[in-house]
């Protein structure tokens, strides 16, 4: 039986309590951050990074007559808890020169802290800007998909602590099924603008942490077509081979021409 798991983060259920951020930090002993006031609504985490493996985004929609019972006087919100997408074709994993980044039996992308030497190549290989080098420590860090907890048959800390089950966790096929059902349900209720973010069409080939959001996913910095950087290799190496040939041929030409003079 497949052991591959996934997160389904349903932002229509999120209340912006940040329990996921707290639980993640406590369980994984992630260093502190977020003591800077960013002015981005209630979000002082800013973005995912070496010390933020869950990040709740706060989108203020203003006092628009919303669906789901909002009266014009009441503020309308969009909250969404962001996390490493654990890509099917993961840029960071492909780029890692030490083999520190591996695929676990649960389908997650895991950085082995005892192998990483901090070359920082994964940082520029991630199309979602998730993994980051910690300047104090020197190594790269990101969400581990709670590999230790999954080994013990436990749900990741964030999903365990989520009070509204906005963060769902389970077998990937089951999660995709639940996502479809939830999308249908929301649409039936009149939420016409709900979208499931799971870029299966792009070279990333799907993710292991999908999101249900209302409106354009770009509002939550979710890129429409994330690409795994290995797709650029063919062009790059072709050009390198051409360049190498030109270096040798050109130099040969210069020296042979020079000796004749």
Partner 1 sequence: MIDENLPRGSAGSRLKARELRLQQIRREAKEKGRIESAGVQPLNAPFPLASPGNGYYGMPTLKAPAWTWQVPVYFFTGGAAGASTVIASVAKATGADPRLIRDARLLAAIGSVISPALLVADLGMPSRFLNMLRVFKIQSPMSVGSWTLVIFSSSAVGTAFLASIEKKTGHANRTICNLENATEFVSLLSGVVLSTYTGVLIGATAIPVWHKNVGLLPLHFATSGMATASGLLELRGHENVALNSIGLATALGETAIGIIIELRRDPALRPLKEKKSGWLTRIGGLLSGPLPLLLRLLSLGGGQERRKKLRKAAAVSSVAGSVLTRFAWTQAGKASAKDPKIPLELPT
Show contacts with partner 1 in window 65-84 (CB under 8 A): 75, 77-78
Report yes or no: 191 and 200 within 8 Å, Cβ to Cβ: no
Report yes or no: 202 and 217 within 8 Å, Cβ to Cβ: no
Q: Which listed residue (31, 65, 68, 138) binds partner 1 by CB under 8 A?
A: 138
Q: Which listed residue (34, 67, 121, 195) binds partner 1 by CB under 8 A?
A: 121
Pick out residues in 213-242 that bind partner 1 (CB under 8 A): 215-216, 218-221, 223-227, 229-230, 232-233, 235-240, 242
Q: Which listed residue (126, 179, 194, 209) binds partner 1 by CB under 8 A?
A: 126
Rounded CA gap, 61 and 78, in Å? 7
**Min separation Cβ 54 and partner 1, Å:** 12
- Give me the count of residues in the chain: 261
Q: For residue 130, what are the contacts with CB-CB under 8 A and spacing of at least 6?
A: 48, 49, 84, 85, 92, 142, 143
Instruction: Write the CA distances from 175 to 5, 185, 208, 209, 212, integer angstroms.
Output: 8, 15, 9, 9, 12
* Interaction of residue 34 with partner 1, rule CB under 8 A: no
**Min separation Cβ 106 and partner 1, Å:** 15
* Interaction of residue 31 with partner 1, rule CB under 8 A: no
Q: What is the dihedral of CA 100, 104, 108, 113, to 10 degrees?
A: -30
Report yes or no: 208 and 107 within 8 Å, Cβ to Cβ: yes
Which of 184, 250 has the CB closer to partner 1? 250
Q: Which listed residue (2, 3, 64, 251) binds partner 1 by CB under 8 A?
A: 251
* Interaction of residue 199 with partner 1, rule CB under 8 A: no
Stretch that binds partner 1, among 1-9, 87-95, 169-177, 205-213 (CB under 8 A): 87-95
* Interaction of residue 40 with partner 1, rule CB under 8 A: yes
**Min separation Cβ 40 and partner 1, Å:** 5
* Interaction of residue 160 with partner 1, rule CB under 8 A: yes
Which of 39, 72 has the CB closer to partner 1? 39
* Interaction of residue 125 with partner 1, rule CB under 8 A: yes
Which of 105, 216 has the CB closer to partner 1? 216
**How many residues sit close enough to partner 1 to count as binding (CB under 8 A)?**
105
Q: Which two tokens stand for residue 70?
A: 């909002």
Buried b (16+ CB within 10 A) or exposed e, 8-43: bbbbbbbebbbbbbebbbebbebeeebeeeeeeeeb
Which of 104, 230 has the CB closer to partner 1? 230
Handedness of CA 87, 89, 93, 95 (dihedral sign): negative
* Interaction of residue 205 with partner 1, rule CB under 8 A: no
Strand ranges, E, within 5-128: 5-10, 54-62, 76-83, 101-103, 109-111
* Interaction of residue 46 with partner 1, rule CB under 8 A: yes
């Amino acid at each position: 039986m497949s052991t591959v798991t996934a997160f389904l983060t349903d932002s229509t259920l999120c209340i912006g309590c940040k329990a996921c951020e707290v639980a993640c930090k406590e369980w994984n002993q992630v260093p502190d951050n977020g003591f800077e006031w960013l002015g981005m609504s209630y979000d002082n985490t800013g973005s995912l990074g070496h010390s933020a493996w869950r990040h709740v985004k706060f989108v203020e929609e203003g006092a628009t007559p919303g669906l789901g019972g909002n009266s014009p006087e009441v503020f309308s919100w969009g909250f969404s808890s962001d996390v490493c997408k654990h890509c099917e074709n993961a840029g960071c994993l492909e780029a890692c020169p030490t083999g520190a980044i591996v695929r676990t039996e649960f389908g997650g992308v895991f950085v082995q802290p005892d192998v990483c030497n901090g070359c920082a190549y994964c940082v520029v290989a991630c199309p979602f800007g998730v993994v980051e080098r910690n300047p104090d420590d020197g190594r790269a860090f990101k969400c581990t998909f709670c590999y230790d907890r999954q080994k013990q048959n436990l749900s990741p800390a964030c999903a365990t602590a989520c009070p509204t089950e906005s963060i769902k966790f389970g077998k990937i096929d089951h999660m995709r099924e639940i996502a479809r059902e939830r999308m249908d349900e929301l649409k039936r209720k009149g939420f016409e603008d709900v979208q499931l973010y799971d870029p299966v069409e792009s070279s990333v080939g799907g993710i292991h942490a999908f999101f249900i959001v209302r409106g354009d996913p770009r509002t939550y910095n979710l890129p429409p077509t994330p690409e795994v950087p290995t797709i650029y290799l063919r062009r790059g190496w072709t050009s390198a081979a051409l360049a190498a040939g030109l270096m040798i041929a050109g130099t040969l030409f210069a020296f042979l021409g020079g000796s004749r003079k």
